[in-house]
Structure 1
Amino acid sequence: MQQALLIVDVQSTFSPPEWLVDGIRLFSANIPSIASIELHDEAVTPFQRQLGWHPAAEDECLIEVDQVFVKHGYGQTPAAIEYLKRLGVARVLVCGMQTETCVLAAGFALFDAGLCPTLVTDLTVGSALDRSGKLGTELWQHHFGRLTTRAEVMADIAPSYA
């Protein structure tokens, strides 16, 4: 199956756990991968005014990928969606930070664009509200129905993967 990986907000600003960064690095080495990072621009998304906090204005993706897209809010950019469409993938695997917010928003953007979003459940972390990511995984299942794990994908890519 032709697929690509979208890594959401795995950047210093959000202090991802080391196990997540290491797991995504190993996984992304085996599949075409892009990432989004969230940078602050109050003129675009009023985080400070409305929420009293904001992500960093400068940051970088902690995973080596084919392409990084900068976003200024929860959703994905049109450029990221168009890039994935040009790849002609059958599904987009999604992992990263804040399962019930930014990762879920990525799922909606992919779905609305006619792509097939699939959550990699063991490579996602929830927000401070639910670090387990359980809430986001349940919302994803409800809205998109497609869940997988890193091991399931790797078994399809390389049957000898253990």
Structure 2
Amino acid sequence: MRQALLIVDVQSTFSPPEWLVDGIRALAARLPAIASVELHDEQVTPFERQLGWHPAAEDESLVEADAVFIKHGYGQRAEAIDYLKRLQVERVLVCGLQTETCVLAAGFALFDAGLAPTLLTDLTVGSSLDRSGKLGIALWTHHFRQVTTAAQVIATLA
């Protein structure tokens, strides 16, 4: 099965746990991978005005990827979706930070683009509302149905 990995916002700003970074790095070394990095630009997305906080203005992905796309706000940029479309994959494996917000937003963008989003349930962490990610996993399952684990993906690559 042709598949690619989308790494959502695994960057210093959001203090990802080391186990998450290590797990994503191991998988990204075996698949085509792209990453998003969320940066603050109040003129594009008014985080400070509306929420009273904002991500860093400068940051970088903690996981090496074939391509990195800067975004402002929750959703993925059209350029990232277009890049994945050009790979002609059967599904996009999604992992990263804030399962019930940015990761879920990535799922909607991928779904709307016909890219078969599949959540890696063991390589995602929720927001401060639910660090376990269970809420986001439940929402993902409800909307997109497709979930898997890194071990299940690696077993298909062998």
TM-score category, normalised to shorter length: over 0.9
Equivalent AA in structure 1 for residue 91 of structure 2: R
Give the alignment's Cα RMSD to 1 decimal: 0.3
Secondary structure of 1:151's counterpart equals: helix
Secondary structure of 2:156's counterpart equals: helix
Q: Residue 119 of structure 1: CA displacement? A: 0.1
Residues 1:39 and 2:39 are matched in the alignment: yes
Counterparts in 2 of 1:129-144, with a 5 A limit? 129-144=129-144
Residues 1:10 and 2:15 are matched in the alignment: no
Secondary structure of 1:83's counterpart equals: helix
Secondary structure of 1:50's counterpart equals: helix
Counterparts in 2 of 1:45-84, with a 5 A limit? 45-84=45-84
Equivalent AA in structure 1 for residue 79 of structure 2: A
Q: Residue 25 of structure 1: CA displacement? A: 0.5
Residues 1:93 and 2:93 are matched in the alignment: yes
Secondary structure of 2:31's counterpart equals: coil
Q: Which whole-Å deviations, capped at 9, do the CAs of 1:75-120 have from their partners, x for residues lacking one? A: 0000000000000000000000000000000000000111100000
Identity among equivalent positions (%) equals: 77
TM-score, length of structure 1 as denominator length: 0.97
Q: Residue 135 of structure 1: CA displacement? A: 0.2
State the aligned residue count.
158
Structure 2: runs of 5+ lacking an equivalent = none
Structure 1: runs of 5+ lacking an equivalent = none
Secondary structure of 1:84's counterpart equals: helix
Residue of structure 1 equivalent to 2:19: 19
Rounded to whole Å, the distance in 2 between the matches of 1:96 and 1:6 is: 8
Equivalent AA in structure 2 for residue 47 of structure 1: F
Rounded to whole Å, the distance in 1 between the matches of 2:135 and 2:40 is: 26
TM-score, length of structure 2 as denominator length: 1.00
Equivalent AA in structure 1 for residue 128 of structure 2: A
Q: Residue 16 of structure 1: CA displacement? A: 0.2
Equivalent AA in structure 1 for residue 2 of structure 2: Q
Q: Which whole-Å deviations, capped at 9, do the CAs of 1:14-73 have from their partners, x for residues lacking one? A: 000000001101111010000001000000000000000000000000001000000000
Residue of structure 2 equivalent to 1:114: 114
Rounded to whole Å, the distance in 1 between the matches of 2:134 and 2:82 is: 29
Rounded to whole Å, the distance in 1 between the matches of 2:118 and 2:22 is: 20
Q: Residue 148 of structure 1: CA displacement? A: 0.2
